[in-house]
A = this chain, B = another copy of it.
Amino acid sequence: MIIVFKPEATEKQIQHVLEKVKTSGFPVDINRGAERTIIGIKGKIDQVARLRIQPFEAFPGVEKVVSISAPFKLVSRQYKPQDTVIDIEGIKIGGKKVVVMAGPCSVESREIMLEVAKKVKLAGARILRGGAFKPRTSPYSFQGLGEEGLQYLHEAKEKTGLPIVTELMDPRQIALVEKYADILQIGARNMQNFDLLKEVGRSKKPVLLKRGMGSTVEELLMSAEYIVSEGNPHVILCERGIRTFESATRFTLDINAIPVIKQLSHLPVVADPSHATGQRSLVASVAKAALAAGADGLIIEVHTNPEIAKSDGPQSLLPSMFSDLMEELKKVGHAIGREI
């Protein structure tokens, strides 16, 4: 950590900060420049992290505080250099093989759920997605089938063998959702719902953590740190598009974030081209791009009849389009030394 003083900082102000820093016990280094004084504080990441609780920016005479180390620890690649591989009933996420998760946006009926599950399994998906609890912008939109939806997902799993990923919105639902789900999904709108993060951090189930649409990569990693620091190391990160000024698409998939996260963290990363684009005709191109950029998996919305989809119909692929996309993904995966 580096504390930079204003050119006009007084000696008294500098000494005042120094005293506070010294009580922490870390080695301190003063650098008196022609114009400014700078203090460097040495120490291991997690120790200095504690020191950050001191709001040095609030001290008189201080211009800025520069963090040198990342603010996260357990999820950082510096802490654990080798890739984390998460095993879900034998399916490994984060290894050489890229995992495609597919299914309808929300679970709407037993029939559709079973049919979509069969179709995506046939095309090569290895995890089944579907929402039973739906975070909807409008209170008047379909809010999900709740436990009934979870039961349909469970039946689809029994019929196809595909493990289930499904969203959890309320900490009070955890016991229920854990009963059915193989992966607990935290949606973009709850990425900083810290009580919910702590709750899934105490679960034994892997967690798929989606990036908030107004959140930075660093904040995504801090939210993952919440989960891991509670005891659950099985976190899969998901890039699903951020808010920008561009209005041609619903969100802007941050493709840069995929290699950035792989550099900063050992956790697996998947991409969601369906939400990131909001348009069916763009999903295939963006899915291939995310794979080529290094994603460990993809999560794609598929519906047998998007016209009656209760949410996100416009971005859902038909099973035949999904099947074609899987063929293309296999080729791209092969080209970059991975399998699907």
Contact = CB atoms under 8 A, between A and B. Distances in A.
Interface of A: 2, 4, 7, 20, 27, 29, 31, 33-36, 38, 40, 42-46, 49-50, 52-53, 55, 57-59, 63, 66, 68-69, 71-72, 78, 135-143, 169-172, 189-190, 192-196, 212-219, 222, 225-226, 229-230, 242-249, 252-260, 263, 276-277, 280-282, 285-286, 288-294, 306-307, 309-314, 316, 328, 331-332, 334-336
A243 B219 CA distance: 13
A171 B172 contact: yes
B246 A53 contact: no
Contacts of A213: 214
Q: How many copies does the complex hold?
A: 4
Nearest to A217: B248
A330 B33 CA distance: 44
B243 A214 contact: yes
B247 A216 contact: yes
Given A306-B55, A328-B336, A332-B336, A254 B244 contact: yes
20 contacts: A2-B2, A35-B42, A35-B45, A38-B68, A53-B310, A58-B316, A139-B229, A216-B248, A217-B246, A243-B243, A244-B244, A246-B254, A246-B257, A255-B286, A255-B289, A259-B286, A285-B293, A289-B292, A328-B336, A332-B336
Contacts of A194: 135-136, 139, 143, 169, 189
Contact of A195 (B141, B170, B215): B170
A29 to B, nearest CB: 5
Contact of A281 (B40, B71, B136, B263): B263
A170 to B, nearest CB: 4
B248 A260 contact: yes
Given A58-B280, A332-B336, 14 more contacts: A35-B43, A46-B140, A49-B138, A49-B140, A58-B316, A71-B137, A140-B229, A190-B192, A242-B244, A248-B260, A249-B256, A249-B260, A252-B254, A289-B293
